Amino acid sequence: MYYWREKEGDFLSLIKSTNILLRGPRQAGKTTLLKEMAKRLNAYYYTLDEPNTLFIFERDPSSLVKGDVVFIDEIQESPNAGRVLRYLTDHFADVRFVFSGSGAFDIKYSISSYLVGRVRPLLLLPLSFKEFVKWRSPALFDWYSKYCGMFYSFLEGGPFPSASPLPALEPLFREYVLYGGFPKVVLSEDKEAELRSLVDFMIDKDVVRFFGLRNREKLWTVLKNLAYRSGKLLDYSSLGVDYKTAVHYVSILQGNHLIELLPSYSKNPSVELRKAKKVVFYDSGFRRSLIPLESGFVLEEFVFRQLLPSFYWRDRHKHEVDFIYKGIPVEVKKGGKVGRGFYAYLRYYAPKRAVILHLSWEVKEERYRETTVLHWPIYLL
């Protein structure tokens, strides 16, 4: 059974005019999406997981080109994929191609360097909360979408939003931040066991074996230390291995779309720290599976996943704002008062709009100098 994904619209729009390179972590649902799109477009679908197809791909790729649209999945299985894909796109200009692969294939094979100007990248991640609500509770989805639409309209300059409490959404929120959004986990009856199995498989196949890493334990050491430090500034010396190894492993994990290094937002180099980056996991369930205790950064991870792409802000006085999304400061309030950094940012830049996210259902308008501050339920992102 196929379940809706937000990227459908982007995919169908792009394929009208260009080739697509679909990327993302293993088990994010790329193959399922590709098969559904191939069905809708009446396209030919191939996967290099099949030995015969891989053999033909490397020796006679032209014979795979049938029809106006061709999908080729699991391209990481061929070390020659970059050259073959460039050949296909150059020699069949009237055909639309969709290429897809799992993990950090581009780091090892530099496929993107062969396809500059020939494809548009499209990233498919584990489910967003919007997708998760649609999958788990279609009855709530229209209500949820309505108020989410008001929120994002406000960010774009629209009217001040409103929302009505719906406590039934809270258990879904807790499930999402606990187990994350990998499709197999979302649909599993035993989510904890499925999550552990998925994490082990992804790390062993996409990282250890694919990159030929000799010391699996060092990788797990780095992963666990990153999990404890999610939401904090990245310090390579704190990851339990030598600096060169830490940089290499972090690069691989980022290339696999398991973590992201959140850049700082900077307009004034004399005020902000531009080089320091925060480490954040794309999937809260993946991160939680690595450590025995809950970290205090689950809410920030949730917000990061919903507000892509975004930045954080920090100045030389250690004032911080959790996220800057399209120039709008977004602070995540776990309890107590909002930090001084949020209002410092408002004083520095005087944005027209700002957001404080919290765990209650209260919607409130606050005026701070020239800024309209929206207090908004974190569930409605």
Tell me which amino acid residue 283 is. D
Q: How confident is the model at residue 296 (pLDDT cuts 50, 70, 90)?
A: very low
Enter the pTM of the model.
Answer: 0.92
Q: Give per-residue pLDDT as tens, 9-54.
A: 999 999 999 999 999 998 999 999 999 999 999 999 999 999 999 9
**Antiparallel, parallel or unpaired: β 311-314 and 353-358:** unpaired
Q: What is the mean pLDDT of residues 321-326?
A: 95
Residues of the chain with CATH 3.40.50.300: 7-123
Q: Give per-residue pLDDT as tens, 201-243.
A: 888 877 777 677 778 889 899 999 999 999 899 999 999 999 9
Cα four-point dihedral sign 132, 329, 357, 295: positive
State the alpha helices, DSSP H only, in the chain: 7-14, 30-41, 51-59, 81-91, 105-109, 111-114, 129-136, 138-155, 169-179, 183-187, 191-202, 216-228, 243-255, 284-288, 298-306, 340-349
> CA 314 to CA 21: how far, in whole Å?
34
> CA 100 to CA 266: how far, in whole Å?
34
Phi, psi dihedral angles at 130 (to 5 degrees): -60, -45
Query: Mean pLDDT across the chain, nearest whole number?
Result: 91
| DSSP string for residues in 149-191 | HHHHHHHTT-PPP-----TTHHHHHHHHHHH---HHHHH-SSH
CA angle in degrees (0–180, nearest 5) for 253-258-262: 90
Q: How far is CA 11 from the centre of its chain?
A: 16
Nearest one of 268, 265, 279 to 314, comparing CA atoms: 265
| pLDDT at residue 187 greater than cutoff 80 | yes
Nearest one of 147, 159, 154 to 378, comparing CA atoms: 147
| Helix 191-202 × helix 169-179 angle, to 10° | 30
- Bridge partners for 121 per DSSP: 21
Classified by CATH at the fold level, domain 7-123 comes out as Rossmann fold (3.40.50)
